[in-house]
Amino acid sequence: MFDLYRILPACLIIVLLFSVAGVAMVSAQSSDFQIEKDPSFIDDQKSPAAAFVRSIILPGWGHFYAGKQHNTRGAVHVGTDAILIGSIFGFNIRANRIENDFITYANLNADVDLSSRDRSFRLAVADFNSLDDYNDYQLRTRNWNRLIEDIPNNRWNWRDSDARNRYSDMRADSDRIRNQIPALAGIMVVNRVISAISAYNRVRNEIETNAQSRAEFTIVPVMKEYGSDSIYSEISGVAAKINIRF
């Protein structure tokens, strides 16, 4: 495992070196250019990283941050997240209700309290009519480590197979619903990642578009003068003039 506190100084040094090199390159390239600063561009410019973080926190927030023209896409991600959250709460409530139903049903029809029992015990109650049947099967299959102690709290006895089958169906329904919750949570994560990447790209593309629209390129003639009074002149070449507002 990496020690973050040990590698952090090295990472900062690398970032600093790249930053200095980048500043040097920009300075060298801009020495031949005429630069005009536009304060309004700085005030209005958005950060792709800020859009990314916003959409990770709340899908769609980064699109709202990017501008009104992206609100529709943002609303799609927000709506998707709201539906997924509602589904998770709804599935959990339904699974709890079914669980309470089959616990009550087992108490009434098999005379056993399952409220504080683990899943393996509940499965045993679903598969066998009584504790004696369960332990007898484990002995015959030599699964001695799966034997359940024969004490009053562990005993059950279904009145008939139909009652046991109904309990088994209710317990399976509860498990099936609960097993869908992790999948919904995974979709929520995917929705956040897609929203964050989309918002990041949209803000970055707008910055690039604005930068291109604020660059001006002109060509001007270079005049050469003759004589002491500079009476005569002629075009000796051309020069490129670039104005960049940032």
Kindly report, residue by residue over 89-125, the tens digit of the pLDDT. Answer: 999 999 999 999 999 999 999 999 999 999 999 999 9
pLDDT at 11 over 50: no
- Average pLDDT of the residues in 10-35: 38
pLDDT for 46: 87
pLDDT for 161: 92
CA geometry: angle 175, 178, 182, nearest 5 deg = 135
Q: Is 244 left (phi over 0), alpha (psi -120 to 50) or beta?
A: beta
- Average pLDDT of the residues in 48-69: 95
In 3-state terms, what secondary structure has residue 215? Answer: strand
Range with lowest mean pLDDT among 76-80, 153-157, 179-183, 204-208: 204-208
pLDDT for 237: 59
DSSP states of 190-235: HHHHHHHHHHHHHHHHHHHHHHHHTEEEEEEEEEEEESTT--EEEE
| Nearest by Cα to 168 from 139, 125, 135, 118 | 125
Structure tokens at 186: 């995974």
- How high does pLDDT run on average in the chain? 79
Q: Is the pTM of this model over 0.85?
A: no
